[in-house]
Amino acid sequence: MNRRAFLGGALGTIGVVCGAGAAEPSEVVLLASTIGPIDAGIVPALAEAFRARTGVVVRFVGAGTGATLDMSRRGEFDLVMVHALSLEKKFMADGFGIDRRDVMYNDFVLLGPASDPAGIKGMDDPKAALRRIAGAQACFVTRGDNSGTHVAEKALWDRAGIQPQGAWYEVFEKGSSGNGPTLRHADGRDAYVLMDRATWLVLKAKLSLVLLVENHPDLFNFIAVIRTNPERFPKANAAGAQRFADWLVSGEAQDLIGKFGLAEYGAPLFFANAGPKVRPPGL
């Protein structure tokens, strides 16, 4: 897919798109985003608020963070919204991205069956919980697609000193379709799964899985935007990407993020993270 095809609405089979069939606006910014914030609704909400403020349309495609960055390496997008720091650093070090901005965060949680065969409910340390799951060889579902969620899960297994393998560790064959389908699959398998809290809050009323482990620094899920490098991709809408990135860290956008989901779910789905607030380690 190239930029002209995207603007014309020729999406093919990649992820999720917004606005592909609408009348052509005067200015368009193309965003490649990790799927979770799209499914949770915060990306559409931000895009609509930005359009209302500026008249600029943000069209977005959703994929796992690894796939999102791969698409952007081909010059198809003006900026990316992602949540895997190690992949983000490489994307920038390789010259594809510039100007990383922290925008928002939530956290991951460990979910599992109410029967909790591994006995992890209420444990303080998710690493110890993973060791117990592995020791019990209790069914665990992973996206297995190099998405931000999968990268975070792999890092947690690494910190736990375990390389998960065997019949109990199930790679969801449609993991690249996102956290929602992965969570629903894990629910159908009565399995443990690492999931972002926003997806859990949105879907939990329809699930039998329960929240077992939460609230640990290892479970932070930081979401950032990175503009694609205009020196490498001169056809990118660099000015539009700059304007959208600036707005995402503005008070207006940060207030929207902090309140999003509160009325419907009783808790915010994301927390504002622009300015001198929480920072991921290593930056």
214: phi > 0 → left, psi -120 to 50 → alpha, else beta; which?
beta
| Tens of pLDDT, residue by residue, the chain (283 residues) | 455 445 544 332 233 444 444 456 679 999 999 999 999 999 999 999 999 999 999 999 999 999 999 999 999 999 999 999 999 999 999 999 999 999 999 999 999 999 999 999 999 999 999 999 999 999 999 999 999 999 999 999 999 999 999 999 999 999 999 999 999 999 999 999 999 999 999 999 999 999 999 999 999 999 999 999 999 999 999 999 999 999 999 999 999 999 999 999 998 999 999 976 555 544 4
Helix (H, G, I), strand (E, B) or coil at 112: strand
Q: Is residue 210 part of a domain?
A: yes
Q: Are residues 207 and 182 in the same domain?
A: yes
Question: d(Cα 223, Cα 45) in Å, to the nearest integer?
Answer: 16
Residue 268 CA: distances (Å) to CA of 107, 210, 260: 12, 19, 6
Helices (H) and strands (E) in the chain, counts: 12, 10
Please report, for the domain that includes residue 241, its CATH number.
Answer: 3.40.190.10
**249 in Cβ contact with 99 (< 8 Å):** no
**86/30 Cα distance (integer angstroms):** 23
Indicate whether 177 belongs to any domain. Answer: yes
Instruction: Report DSSP letters for 56-100, one per residue.
Output: PEEEEEEE-HHHHHHHHHTT--SEEEE--HHHHHHHHHTTSEEEE
Task: Verify that 213 and 123 share a domain, yes or no.
Answer: yes
Domain co-membership, 111 together with 215:
yes
Q: What local confidence, expressed as pLDDT, does residue 69 receive?
A: 95
Count: domains in the chain:
2
Q: Let me know if residue 121 belongs to a domain.
A: yes
Whether residue 279 is contained in a domain is answered as no
Amino acid 179: pLDDT? 94
CA distance 116 to 149: 22
pTM of the entire predicted model = 0.82
Q: 105: which DSSP letter?
A: E
Q: Element (H or E) spanning 128, and its range?
A: helix 126-136
Q: Which domain holds residue 131?
A: 107-219
Angle between helices 238-248 and 251-259 (to 10 degrees): 60
Residues 120 and 209 in one domain: yes
Query: Which amino acid, residue 56?
Result: V
Q: How far apart are the first and last CA of the chain?
A: 33
Query: Domain for residue 278, yes or no?
Result: no
CA distance 96 to 30: 15
